[in-house]
Structure 1
Amino acid sequence: MPYLCKMQLESGKKIILFDGVCNLCNGAVQWVIERDKDDVFRFAPLQSAIAEDLLKERGVDAATMDSIIFIDPGVAYFIKSDAALEIARNIKGYGWLPAIFGRTPRSVRDSIYDLIAKNRYRLFGKKDQCMIPNAELSAKFLQTS
């Protein structure tokens, strides 16, 4: 059976899955929302059933995934530093980031990403529960009906 969220995802929207209890990740989501002038992105915490289903659909084990994931439905999905670069590529005015950092070998980029990810709770803190968007932002977050 196809994923339930596909029915509610508008055409042309791209999905960012993030660690919903991580302060760094929540800050990054807020940063993207502020710059998403074309309303391209939709979000879901990795701890949600929606994220679990989206990962399962792509053959990714949700239990082992703690990276940011960028999904361009029907096209591809990206993890770790590739996800960050693809997100930047989709924000007007930030295409220079992937142009510069995309030249760095993925193994180097992902090693830096992994180092930050491994220490993100210690460095930036952790919430007790996933962020609950206010009424204005709730349309940007994928939810089951």
Structure 2
Amino acid sequence: MALVIPVGCAGLSASLPAYVRHRRRATSIATTTFATLSPLRCGEAAVDWAEATSSFFEKDTRPIMLFDGVCNLCNGGVKFVRDNDRKRNIRFEALQSEAGKKLLRRSGRAPDDISSVVLVEKQRSYIKSEAVLKIMEYIDLPFPQLAIFLHFVPLFIRDFVYDNVANNRYTFFGRSDSCEI
């Protein structure tokens, strides 16, 4: 059962049961399942983004890696994954594309949020360091084994490192005028 809660309407979240308030905060956690509808603004129609994007997984069930299409580090990461994914287990989509924005909404993120790589599978999505580790599991040796080892590093440490790199990616690696992929 899905519960739709208008986020932009003042005073509504304070009157929500504790389990609903907790569920709304859970979208910022590393993995998200698609059991709830996306948050609404006042006057916005409810959209079940898992249903609205189900066509992305009808004929091709491979996960989709969402990345910042103008970030040189992100484009380099996509090239690295392509070079090390001989079986072509992963598809790619820029966060800025229409499909990318829909998949972001499906993952419980704002459609203009380009702060993190996101890996969207048919039933769940991963963000930040969890997305990177999950991508490593899909590509060729030795990366799946390295991902297993890195899972022993606590999530808050992995995400701290991830956030510091992500927040400075344009400074250190620059931007391109358009998506190269």
- Displacement, 1:65? 4.0
Contact 1:86 1:98 in 2 (8 A): yes
Q: Distance in 1 between matches of 2:111 and 2:138?
A: 25
Is residue 63 of structure 1 aligned with residue 75 of structure 2? no
Distance in 1 separating the partners of 2:116 and 2:171: 16
Q: Establish whether residue 3 from structure 1 lines up as the match of residue 57 from structure 2.
A: no
> 2:20 corresponds to which residue?
none
1:89 aligns with 2:149: no
Larger radius of gyration: 2
Partner Cα separation in structure 1 for residue 97 and residue 121 of structure 2: 19
Gap runs ≥5 in structure 1:
134-145
Distance 2:133 2:171 in 1: 24
Q: Which has the higher contact order (CA 8 A, sep 6+)?
A: 1
Q: CA deviation at 1:2?
A: 2.3
With structure 2 as the length reference, what TM-score do the two structures score? Answer: 0.67
Name 2:84's counterpart in structure 1.
Answer: 35
1:94-109 to 2 correspondence within 5 Å?
94-109=143-158
Residues 55-92 of structure 1, C-alpha deviations (whole Å, 9 max, x = no match) = 1123221223420001111x210000000000001112
Whole-Å separation in 1 of the counterparts to 2:68 and 2:55: 19
1:11-57 deviation digits (Å, cap 9, x = unpaired): 33110000000000000000001111111111011111101111112
- Residue 17 of structure 1 aligns to a residue whose secondary structure is strand
Q: Aligned residues, how many?
A: 130
SS of 1:63's equivalent in the other structure is: coil
Give matches, 1:41-60, under 5 Å: 41-60=90-109
Taking structure 1 as the reference length, the TM-score comes to 0.82
